[in-house]
Every structure is written in structure tokens, then in C-alpha cells.
Chain A
Amino acid sequence: MNLEELQIKIKTIKEQLKNESIVDSELLQTKYLGKKGSFNDLAKAIGQIDPEQKKEAGKLLNELKIHLTETIEKLGKSPKKASFEDLTAPGIEPKVGHMHPVSQAMEEITQIFERIGFSRARYPEVDWDWYVFESLNMPKSHPARDEWETFFVEAPVDPEKGKVVLTTHTSNGQVREMERLKSKPPIRMINIARCYRRQQDATHTQMFHQFEGLVVDTGINIQHLKGTLDYFAEQFYGPGTKSRIRPFHFQFTEPSFEVDFSCHICNGTGKINEEKCKFCKSGWHEVGGAGMVHPNVLKAGGIDPEKYTGFAFGWGVERTYTLKQGLNIDDIRLLYSGDLRFLEQF
């Protein structure tokens, strides 16, 4: 055999492997690289080659071996043909947990307001009477305080800031936010926090959550409050949801409003197929309070009410969340029960 013949044989083996129908790499290994494989057969023939050409022949054989090894390895890695699978068999889920519904609501609320320039802040849950009531235009023993069933903490009374209370609303963040910004508007705050009131039934828990919006700047007016409320309603409950404000009274806002969102079940009509909508009161849901910041509150925060105006709103997270379509939570105490049969549904 001379070099030329060897090259032809090498070419033949390569071609053969290329057109191989066997896909099992072990079989291929035996057929080409095994003891009685094509490579060994060819290598034995090297003895017949002219000694001068032996070196070159060895090189060619070595190349062939590398080629065969690599090609077979590659073939071995090639995807196996799919076989029968019972696609009707049920799935096996990975174990996942759940974020608490209140966290989910708070995250969504935060994101909605962040998109229109609000930043979230956090203020104490245990606070001085001054921030919770007095700075909000509610002097001591004012009848308006009756609306808040307040928890008091056993602690010394501060001569200036009064008693220590559990915050009955997130509005304690109003004057605190003004102080944080050194009484320099613009302010666009959202404060979401735990609140506490001395009451407990299917729609009230001793602990609950509120979110508070506060905007202060020059030229802020009622239309801006309406715009912000409408924006939130559409984003949180879906397109077409409207807000409306009705007269109300809070000591810390003037004018004060009660805020309603249109019912998304009956589109604010109060009727479904000529029957009374069971989900709402005449087409609207009450969600909470709002108003233009009272000049005395601005003053308490060191802001000149002649120069600046603002609006504020504060609603229960639970109430706002449970109005979502189809949610059907009829007892908000479940939220804080720690009952996994409830929590795992979210």
C-alpha cells in the first residue's frame, strides 16, 4: 500500500461514518475504534508501507483517529428522538409560597402612585398625640376625636407633644413629611402603614392598613385631587372606573370630601339587567376621605398657607383591595388570622 491508497481508504472510512445510520455512539465506537474496528484494520496495514513514507502515514492515521473520536463523540451528543409521553398525566408543581394579599395590594398601590411622581415614606406607628391629632387641627377633647377609637400607650406624657398613642390613621405622616422636607414644597408623598383602632367586627380589625397621599405646592387645587383619584381608580380597578367626591368633614382638611369609586360590576349604574347590583350601594363604593389640606395643618408643618395649597387623602388598604372584582372576601379578620387555607389562595 502506498500513501495514495492510504489516503483513499481514509476518505472512504470518513464518508462511511458521515453516512452512518447507527446513532448509538457505543456501537459506532466499536465499529470504528474497537479492536476489530475499521481504524485498527487500517493501522495494521501500515507495516506494508514504504519505510520512507511511514512517518507521513502515521500522521495521517493520527488525524483519522482524532476525526473519528470527535465525530463519534458529537454524534453521541446529538438529540435523541422523542418517544411516547403520556401528555394527559397531571403536573407536579414546585412548592411555591404566597405574598400576603395586603403586601400585594400595597405594592400595586405604591407603583400606581409612583408613576405620577409620588414617593413612598414611612412614619411611626406609635406616635405623639401632636402628630396624630393636635397638629391636624384637632385640639384636645375636640368631639371630632370621638371618631377615632384610640389606643393609648402607658408612657409618660410629653409636655409639648402629649400622650403616646397607636396611630389611628396614616395622617400623622402629614406634618412629619413637611418637617422632613424642612417645610419646603413640592411634596408628593404616599405613606402606607399599619394603623390601630379599638374596634373589631367583620369589617374592622384592631390593626389595619391605610395609605395616605399628600400633595403640597403652589397652585394645587381640587381638580388635581380629582385627577389623582380618577387616575388611581382606573389603574387599580380597571379602565372606565370613575371616582367622585362628596362633601364631608374632617378637621384636617377644608374642603373635605368623601371619595367613592364607581362600581365596576354595574358600571356605576347600580343595576344589572334591570336588577339591583348586589355588589354596591347605588352604583358607587365609599372608599375613604380626602380634602384640601387645612391651613392650620400647613402652618403646623411650617408651610405658609397664603403661598401654598395642597390635598390629602387616606383610605384603608383592606377596604380598597377587597372591592376588587370577584375577590369576595366577606370578613377582613381572615387577613390577620394566619390561616393558611385562606392565605394560600393568594
Chain B
Amino acid sequence: MNILIPHTWLLEHLDTDADPKKIQEYVSLCGPSIERIYDIESDKVYDIEVTTNRVDGMSIRGIAREAAVILQQFGIKAKLKPNNLPQTLRPETEVLPLPKISNDPKLSKRLICVVLKGVQRNPTPEWMAKRLLQTEQNVHDAVIDITNYVTHELGHPCHAFDYDKLMRTGGEINVVEAKAGEKFITLDANEFETVGGEVVFKNGEGDIIDLPSIKGTANTSIDDTTQNVLLLLESIKAEKVRFASMTHAIRTVAAQLMEKNVDPNLAKDVLVRGAQLYQELCNAQIASEIYDDFPGNQPLKPVEVKLETIHEYLGTDAAGKQVLTTQEIISILEQLECTVTSKNQTLIIQPPSFRPDLTIPADIVEEIARIYGYHKLPSVIMDTQIPTEKQKGVNFTLENRIKRFLASIGLQEIYSYSMVSEQIALQTDSLENHLKLQNPLTDDRIYLRKSLIPSLKEILDQNSHISDLSVFEIANVYLPKKNDLPNESLRLSIVSTKPYREVRGILESLLAQFFVTNLQVTQNSDTTGTILVSENDKEIGLGIVTMQSNNRVAIELEFSQLLLILKTHPTYQSIPKTAIVTEDMTFTLPKKIRVGEIMKVMSEVSTLITKVELKDIYNRNYSFAITYHDPKQNIASDDLKPVRKKIVQELEKHQGILVGTV
């Protein structure tokens, strides 16, 4: 959460001569981050990010308190000013009766209020309006604005009830949990129905008369006719506030503060300061004693920290290299208003009531370290043991080599979204076979994809001005599993406008980089095939190839299968001592022939045949280069005659007709 703090308002609580730039620099280094300084209404205004655990910093006084400690650490004069508020308030006129209040200590840690009589509807004075504008709050009139002003100044939300309206509802405040289905109307005239479990104020008849710590209801809040005010602060349990606020999406400033454990001890100061402002600005008179029911008035649990632990975290010593003395440690904690006792190298730390975030030794370590200054600690790379047990089933070096190789031979790597539209998902599988997001942000990102190909096809379409384009991506697809996380399967996909043989050639050259040369494709239909390699007489499927519309070629490989076959080095074959003979043969083959299968047939004709390559296709004439080799002796042309004949015979079985003679 961010809070806006005008410099001059801050100086009402902080005694310092540091200029805004210095305050920004030093406070950011050791405390909340002052992200920007604005010039608003001829004053500097700090925009400060306060972390969710430090709701004590969500006020002018809270920031002043932090700044005082930090600035002193940098040798700058800084002191938190005393707030000079009276301890209590006394009725100064005829007493008006307080409502009958019944708190449930399990729901509210404190309930404190006072009656203010004869409230005049004066305009908000200029000085207060200026500060509200500087902190981006709306200006209404003084009766309303006082509550926002004191909340911003001191950090505890408060609520002004219309006293007479409240008394007309029966003059009772009962702090209870709502049942489901109860209706209430907020002060801005929105109607809600409870789900059950929200903490509410009810009157004697069981009507909801306030949504405490979140928002007032119309039946008791201030309106144009208000004459008397009941100023009230309660301290509803944080998780209860969060529950009701989130359930009904009423995210007021009050709710956002109270759900983070605002210190109930602040409540009286806020009440007194508020009452003073009503006296000053609205000529109100105190018309009751302070009602204060504070069942949650207990000190926070002390934290025990061994000095050793502190030094362990900081890499410091009490004496020696990086010195941080016990005295320094205690002094920092005391500046932060902790009470410290030490016993046997252990510190027992009593945090102040506004620091409920200090619960474990590491919390204490953080306080010491940040105030001491992280910048004072040296930078050291650890000299501890390097782990050797690597994760199995991953090979990031290989992934990168594949990416680099494909890029170097002309392919463009793509990163596309894992979530796809209904239309894209349907290209792979039916919608119910996809994982679906419960709360997608946009229509085009709803389903977790089961293939990369449709996404890459889309990229080709988007770049249709490029006629020759091949793209690839390495990413997970998500295959649903019953009652379990999906199987995240890493895939390598290539989609290209190039002819099939060139795309297959890309894949072949990729595998050859990793010493795999026996890629095969078995045809499953006119437009689909399975990519595999055989190893030790076993066929290992790698993935699929499909022909897409506009003759685009798409390949998708399973990365885990690639990991099984890719090699880091070849097996050396001794350089042949006998002659290698290569001859060409041309056959006329029938339409829709699967030439790969024909070539397989050819290569199996004789053990002398070491390689069959497709050299050229002209009309239906296919020219092959056939390589012969006998490692034991040189092959003579006559030796090959029977082999050639056998090839012709075998091809005739597949309607292949030799062009020329053997």
C-alpha cells in the first residue's frame, strides 16, 4: 500500500532539519521506500510504499516515528515530537446518554466512543482541505472530513455516527456475527445481503446498524440533519474485516488498514484528537464520558533471540572483522521502542504494541540489520559446498544448443502464450479435454494449450508478408490428468512455409548435430506422419509431422524423447580402405507413392548397399544415387550386376519401372 505524506504535515510530528531529498534517500535505505516526491499545493508530498506487515507506518505519525530513528542513524538531528493529547475528555455540557453497548471480545479487541453535541455543519477549513487534497482525499465538510483527517494523521480508522439516528434505532450497539441473508444499506445507498460470519453492529431488534471497520450504514450515518455525533472506534479482528471486505468487495481505506492489524492502543489518541477537532471546527461540546471497553489490552508476546543468531544472519561478530557490538544491537532495538533485557547471550525483546509483526528471531534480525544499514555489510560470495546432485530429466544446455542451431540455419524462435482461445484450442482437441482457467483476463487466453502448432501457425498468418518463414518454439503443453496436476510436456515445434522435404531436412540436420542420422517418417494418412528413429532394433517415436492448410509443414517433437536419443559425440567409423562405388538409377513410380518406403526396400536388397539417396524427382521419374561398399574388397562393376537386377525386381513389385537398362 502507498501513502501520501505532505512534508509540512510530517514536520508537525517530526523534529528535523533534514531536507526532503535527504529524507527520501535515508528513509528508503532503511525503512519504507519513498518512491517519489510530488509538488502539490506548494508543498513536497512523499509517495511512500508501506509493506503490508507494517500498517503502523500507514499514517503521518507512523512515518515520523520511523524517520526519526533512521535519520539519527545517519547523524542527522531527528526526533519524534510528543503528541500532547490529553489523557481523557470530560463532559462540558449537559450529558447525553451513551448507547447501550455489548461487545464480544472474540470479535472486537476494543470499543471506544464519545458523544459530541451541537455539531455545526461548517465547511472544512482551508488548511485541512489542502492536506486532504494533497493526500488525494475528497473534501466534503468538516463533520465528515475530520474522521478522514485523523485517520490519516494517526493511523486508526474511526467512524462518526449520527447520534440521534442511532438512538432512534433503539440506542443499542451489539457486536455480533451476521447470519446469512441479512440485508443492510451502506451510507452510499448500496444494498447488500450478508453471507454469514461478517461482524456487524446490530440494534435490539437485530437490524444491522453498521459494518464496523469497513463502512457505515445509511440508518445511522451522518446526513444533512445531523446535530449530534457519536465518534466511535472499534478494533474488529483483522481476518474478520478481511473476510467481509473481500466477500462484498467493499475495499475502503478503513478496511484495508483494519485487515492488517492496526494497534488498538492508537484508538484513544484518535478519539481525543478527533473530539478536539470537532470542538475547534464544528463548535461541538463533549457530551459524555469516554466509553472504553478494551478486552484486547494485552502486551505482545516477547521474542527471545540469541545473539549468535543475529550474528549468523548478518555475518557479523561482537568483536573481530565486521563488528556489531551487543550495545549497538540493544540500542537499535530501544530506539525502535522495544524493551530489551539480556540473559546468557540471549536477548528478550518486548515489542511495542504497534509492532505485532515482530514475532520470531528473524523479525528482530531484520530490525537490527536495516537500522544498522544493509549498505554497511560487505558483499561476499559463499564458500560453502557446491551441490552435485542435479535435477534429472532436464537438459538446459541441450535446449539452448537446439535453439542456437535452428536460429543459425534461418529459423526464428517464438515465445507464444501458454493460454489460448477457444478457437485455437479446438484445433488440437475438444474443449473438455483442455484445462480451462476459472478467471481468464481476456477471451483469447482461456485454455491451456495441448499443442504449440496452432499458436505458431497463427504467428505465420500474422507475418504473412514474409513468404519464406520458418518458426520454432520450445515450450510446455499441458495434458490434463484426473485429480492431479497436468502432465507438463516439453515440446519442440517447427512450423514453416517451406516445402516438406526442406523442413524435414532441417530436422535431419538438427539431429545430425547430435549424431543421430537414421530419422524415419511413417505415413499415417495423406497429411500426417510419425517421426521416429530406430536404435538397437527398437523404434523410438519422436513426434509427428502434419501438412497444414496452405501447404504449411508442422512438426511437433516430444522433448523427453529427444533426450533419449541425442548424443554428445559420435561413434567413430574407421575410414574405408576399399573403394566406394556410387551409381545412379532412375525409376518411374506410380502416383501417391511413398518413396521413403521404396528407398527402404532398395537399401535392404543387399548388404553391399550402404546408402540410398533421392537425387531428383522429375514428373514421376525418381533418380536415386545408390552407394555400394564392401569393407573386405574392392567392388568390380560385374559384382553389382545381380544386385542391380534384384533392385529392379523388387521395385517392379511396387509398380516401379526402370528408366534405361542395368
Q: Is A47 an interface residue (CB 8 A)?
A: no
Q: Report B-chain residues with C-beta under 8 Å of the C-beta of A231.
A: 381
Interface residues of A in 304-343 (CB under 8 A from B): 309, 335-336, 338-340, 343
Asked if B437 contacts A244 (CB within 8 A), the reply is no
> What is the size category of the interface that chain B forms with chain A?
35 or more
Q: Is A303 an interface residue (CB 8 A)?
A: no
Q: Is B593 an interface residue (CB 8 A)?
A: no
Asked if B370 contacts A247 (CB within 8 A), the reply is yes
Q: Is A246 an interface residue (CB 8 A)?
A: yes
Nearest-neighbor residue (CB-CB) of B368 within chain A: A255
Nearest-neighbor residue (CB-CB) of A217 within chain B: B384
Question: Known interface pairs A188-B387, A247-B31. Does A97 touch B413 (Cβ–Cβ under 8 Å)?
Answer: yes
Asked if B486 contacts A222 (CB within 8 A), the reply is no
Question: Looking at chain A's contact residues, is the secondary structure mostly helix, strand, loop, or mixed?
Answer: mixed
**Interface residues of A, count at CB 8 A:** 88
B12-44 contact mask (Cβ, 8 Å, vs A): 1 or 0: 000000000000010011111101000000000
Asked if B418 contacts A194 (CB within 8 A), the reply is yes
Which of B31, B412, B475 meets A343, CB within 8 Å? B412
Asked if B440 contacts A223 (CB within 8 A), the reply is no
Asked if B413 contacts A100 (CB within 8 A), the reply is yes
The distance in angstroms between the C-alpha atoms of A47 and B313, with both chains bound, is 107
Q: Report B-chain residues with C-beta under 8 Å of the C-beta of A154.
A: 435-438
Asked if A122 contacts B374 (CB within 8 A), the reply is no
Which of A99, A120, A206, A244 meets B375, CB within 8 Å? A244
Which of B374, B394, B448 meets A226, CB within 8 Å? B374
Asked if B391 contacts A121 (CB within 8 A), the reply is yes
Nearest-neighbor residue (CB-CB) of B476 within chain A: A125
Q: Is A27 an interface residue (CB 8 A)?
A: no
A100-131 contact mask (Cβ, 8 Å, vs B): 1 or 0: 10110001001000001101111011111000
Asked if B366 contacts A338 (CB within 8 A), the reply is no
Which of B259, B315, B435, B466 meets A126, CB within 8 Å? B435
Asked if A103 contacts B400 (CB within 8 A), the reply is yes
Question: Known interface pairs A153-B448, A255-B369, A340-B466. Does A120 touch B315 (Cβ–Cβ under 8 Å)?
Answer: no
Nearest-neighbor residue (CB-CB) of B50 within chain A: A249
Nearest-neighbor residue (CB-CB) of A254 within chain B: B362
Asked if B381 contacts A141 (CB within 8 A), the reply is no
Asked if A156 contacts B483 (CB within 8 A), the reply is yes
The distance in angstroms between the C-alpha atoms of A60 and B386, with both chains bound, is 76
Residue among B29, B387, B413 with max Cβ neighbours from chain A (10 Å):
B387
Q: Report B-chain residues with C-beta under 8 Å of the C-beta of A207.
A: 417-419
Which candidate, A5-13, A61-69, A179-187, is the interface stretch facing chain B? A179-187
Q: Is B396 an interface residue (CB 8 A)?
A: yes
Q: Report B-chain residues with C-beta under 8 Å of the C-beta of A155.
A: 435, 480
Q: Report A-chain residues with C-beta under 8 Å of the C-beta of B25.
A: 282
Interface residues of B in 374-429 (CB under 8 A from A): 374-375, 377-382, 384-387, 389-391, 394, 396, 400, 403-404, 406-419
Q: Is A18 an interface residue (CB 8 A)?
A: no
Asked if A248 contacts B400 (CB within 8 A), the reply is no
Asked if B384 contacts A219 (CB within 8 A), the reply is yes
Asked if A96 contacts B435 (CB within 8 A), the reply is no
Which candidate, B225-233, B455-463, B622-630, is the interface stretch facing chain A? B455-463
Q: Report B-chain residues with C-beta under 8 Å of the C-beta of A343.
A: 412-414
Asked if A126 contacts B488 (CB within 8 A), the reply is yes
Asked if A339 contacts B416 (CB within 8 A), the reply is no
Which of B32, B407, B442 meets A200, CB within 8 Å? B442
Asked if A119 contacts B391 (CB within 8 A), the reply is yes
The distance in angstroms between the C-alpha atoms of A152 and B448, with both chains bound, is 12
Q: Is B185 an interface residue (CB 8 A)?
A: no
Q: Report A-chain residues with C-beta under 8 Å of the C-beta of B390.
A: 119
Q: Is B260 an interface residue (CB 8 A)?
A: yes
Which of B365, B385, B394 meets A122, CB within 8 Å? B394
Q: Is B128 an interface residue (CB 8 A)?
A: no
Asked if A223 contacts B315 (CB within 8 A), the reply is yes
Q: Report A-chain residues with C-beta under 8 Å of the C-beta of B374.
A: 222, 226, 244-247, 257
The distance in angstroms between the C-alpha atoms of A151 and B637, with both chains bound, is 71
Asked if A180 contacts B381 (CB within 8 A), the reply is no
Q: Report A-chain residues with C-beta under 8 Å of the C-beta of B52.
A: 143-144, 147, 249
Asked if B462 contacts A254 (CB within 8 A), the reply is no
Question: Known interface pairs A97-B408, A121-B391, A344-B412. Does A127 touch B366 (Cβ–Cβ under 8 Å)?
Answer: no
Residue among A107, A228, A248, A254 with max Cβ neighbours from chain B (10 Å):
A254
Q: Is B584 an interface residue (CB 8 A)?
A: no
Q: Is B54 an interface residue (CB 8 A)?
A: yes
The distance in angstroms between the C-alpha atoms of A199 and B440, with both chains bound, is 10
Q: Report B-chain residues with C-beta under 8 Å of the C-beta of A336.
A: 415-417
Q: Is B597 an interface residue (CB 8 A)?
A: no
Asked if A141 contacts B243 (CB within 8 A), the reply is yes
Q: Is B445 an interface residue (CB 8 A)?
A: yes
Asked if B463 contacts A258 (CB within 8 A), the reply is no
Q: Is A220 an interface residue (CB 8 A)?
A: yes
Q: Is A28 an interface residue (CB 8 A)?
A: no
Asked if A97 contacts B419 (CB within 8 A), the reply is no
Asked if B387 contacts A187 (CB within 8 A), the reply is yes
The distance in angstroms between the C-alpha atoms of A294 and B32, with both chains bound, is 20
The distance in angstroms between the C-alpha atoms of A98 and B391, with both chains bound, is 29
Minimum CB–CB distance from B66 to chain A (whole Å) comes to 10
Q: Is A198 an interface residue (CB 8 A)?
A: yes
Interface residues of A in 119-170 (CB under 8 A from B): 119-122, 124-128, 141, 143-144, 147, 151-156, 158, 164, 166
Question: Known interface pairs A180-B391, A295-B360. Does A186 touch B385 (Cβ–Cβ under 8 Å)?
Answer: yes
Q: Is B485 an interface residue (CB 8 A)?
A: yes
Q: With contacts A96-B410, A125-B476 known, what are 7 further pairs, Cβ within 8 A? A: A127-B485, A143-B242, A151-B419, A227-B379, A228-B382, A255-B366, A344-B412
| 26 residue pairs bridging A and B, Cβ less than 8 Å apart | A96-B409, A97-B412, A100-B413, A117-B386, A119-B391, A125-B488, A128-B485, A147-B52, A154-B438, A156-B483, A158-B483, A180-B391, A181-B389, A199-B441, A215-B382, A223-B378, A226-B374, A243-B379, A244-B375, A246-B29, A248-B33, A281-B35, A294-B362, A295-B362, A340-B463, A343-B413
List the 3 closest pairs (A to B, CB-CB), nearest first. A249-B51, A255-B366, A117-B386
| Residues in chain B within 8 A of chain A (CB atoms) | 25, 28-33, 35, 51-54, 239, 242-243, 246, 259-260, 312-315, 322, 360, 362-363, 365-366, 369-370, 374-375, 377-382, 384-387, 389-391, 394, 396, 400, 403-404, 406-419, 435-442, 445, 448, 458-459, 462-463, 466, 469-471, 475-476, 478, 480, 483, 485-486, 488
